[in-house]
Structure 1
């Protein structure tokens, strides 16, 4: 296929992001249910939480279907978020590359700028979906006042809280974009280091390269991509996870009566639960 017929890289990344968001959400949604409920709990023995919460969901809410409560907003939120993120991330990288021209490759700071800007825009656009998702995942369907669907959540927030209700937890959400920024900075640099290692002079066979020019560059394998993406995700997540806990607390049904602000939520978690409170779930 000629380059004239190739899809723009930003469009390819957007489609990839949408697809990845849908697939991963379908697979891990039950774990998201448990994580969201753990993030809202207080003073619970940490080692015993996961199995007890899993049993409680199954026992108290009727069936395995309870593990997929809130799936619609989670699917919409993840697919739209990753689609928008990759769209803006790709566009910003393309713009920076055009700006630099042939002067050199993008630096770590460039990757950080691209991913940080894309993450901020995504957080602002998608926060209303995350408010509804957090509330649905943190409650059973039969709980008093629980949202029955995405549209029911939208209706209730408009009626009881107005537009402001859709933007609860926005500050930690925006601060939490550092997760994506660090993740993609780590990821891009890890890829560069891996490529350099694979294509170092010590790894090449000069005779093979001379007879087969296509062997001059060794591409990354699927295993490389899996390992590098996982390592970058774990590294970024260990640093930025507290933002998720604070956001979840601020987005629950009664957050307005519990916390005066994001700072107040941080102080209450610190006083009541200590350092480990920021890593629940």
Structure 2
């Protein structure tokens, strides 16, 4: 395929991100429900076995296995659109930074490497733009995952949720939890900063984890295999997750059905959680969150990287 028929790099990034979001959501949605139920629970203490207790309750009282897939539509829409937009903007911003550095250094296009700060800026900016556009989907997703289908006032579908929020809360209802979501941009920024730097180091210095002999890229760097992507995505996700997890709890609490009558804002939510639940309250759902997040991360990055490789190979 010649260059006239080649897909633009930004479109490659967007398709790869969209595909990654779809696959990762389908794989880990039940764990997302359990994590969300624990995050919004204001009355019980965090303890070993909480995840199993929640899962058993859902299976026993809400309709069995299908209940573990309640809210799949907003979760699927939210993750696929979010990853698609995120990688689109992330790639675009990296291109701008590359061009800016190259022109500043006068060494020609592609002659400079991005720093950790550059990756942090690119991923942080992409994350903020994505959060602003997709927050309404996450509000509905949180509410659907936090309640059973037969609970009073529960949304039966994504469209019903949109209609109900608009009628009862107005446009502002779609942006509940936006402030902690913007705080959470630091999670993606830290993750991608670590991932890109680990990836660069692995390409330049690390031993190959591919089944066959390692090949090299056009820049003389080792081409990474799927096991490399598993390792690097795991390390970067655990690093970012341990640092930023409390924002997920705050966002979930502020997006529940009764949030307006419970918390006056982010500061009040922090104060109430600290007073009634202590530090452990900010880490509720961390267990299933970590169990969920690693398979999700593996699927996301494997699909993303392999889709990019496939689309670029077809372009070549």
**1:108-257 correspondence runs (5 A):** 108-198=116-206, 217-257=221-261
| 2:42 matches 1:37 | no
Q: How many angstroms does 1:46 deviate by?
A: 1.5
- Mind listing any 5+ residue stretches in structure 2 that lack a counterpart? 208-214, 286-316
Q: Distance in 2 between matches of 1:243 and 1:214?
A: 41
Name 1:9's counterpart in structure 2.
9
Name 1:24's counterpart in structure 2.
24
Q: How many angstroms does 1:57 deviate by?
A: 0.2
Deviations 1:7-42 (A, max 9, x none): 222211111110010011011000000000000113
Name 2:91's counterpart in structure 1.
90
Deviates more, 1:103-112 or 1:30-39: 103-112
Q: Distance in 1 between matches of 2:97 and 2:131?
A: 22
Q: How many angstroms does 1:280 deviate by?
A: 0.7
**1:37-56 correspondence runs (5 A):** 37-41=37-41, 42-56=43-57
Q: How many angstroms does 1:196 deviate by?
A: 2.0
Q: How many angstroms does 1:182 deviate by?
A: 0.3
Name 2:314's counterpart in structure 1.
none
**Higher relative contact order (CA closer than 8 Å, sequence separation 6+):** 2
Deviations 1:107-135 (A, max 9, x none): 11111111000000000000000000000
Instruction: Give RMSD over aligned pairs.
Output: 1.9
Name 1:206's counterpart in structure 2.
none
Q: How many angstroms does 1:105 deviate by?
A: 0.8
Q: Distance in 2 between matches of 1:240 and 1:141?
A: 31
Q: How many angstroms does 1:213 deviate by?
A: 11
TM-score (norm 1): 0.92
Q: Distance in 2 between matches of 1:59 and 1:214?
A: 56
TM-score (norm 2): 0.82
Deviates more, 1:102-111 or 1:148-157: 102-111
| 2:284 matches 1:280 | yes
Q: Distance in 2 between matches of 1:24 and 1:215?
A: 31
Q: Distance in 1 between matches of 2:8 and 2:16?
A: 12
**Alignment counterpart, residue 115 of structure 2, candidates 104, 107, 127:** 107
Structure 1 residue matching 2:205: 3-state secondary structure: helix
- On the 8 A contact 2:89/2:126 being kept in 1, the answer is yes
Structure 2 residue matching 1:47: 3-state secondary structure: coil
User: When the two structures are aligned, how many residues end up with a matched partner?
Assistant: 270
Identify if the C-alpha distance between structure 1 residues 167 and 48 changes in structure 2 by more than 3 Å, giving closer, same or farther: same
Q: Distance in 1 between matches of 2:135 and 2:217?
A: 50
Q: Distance in 1 between matches of 2:265 and 2:118?
A: 33
Structure of higher CA gyration radius: 1
Deviations 1:254-276 (A, max 9, x none): 00000000111011111111111
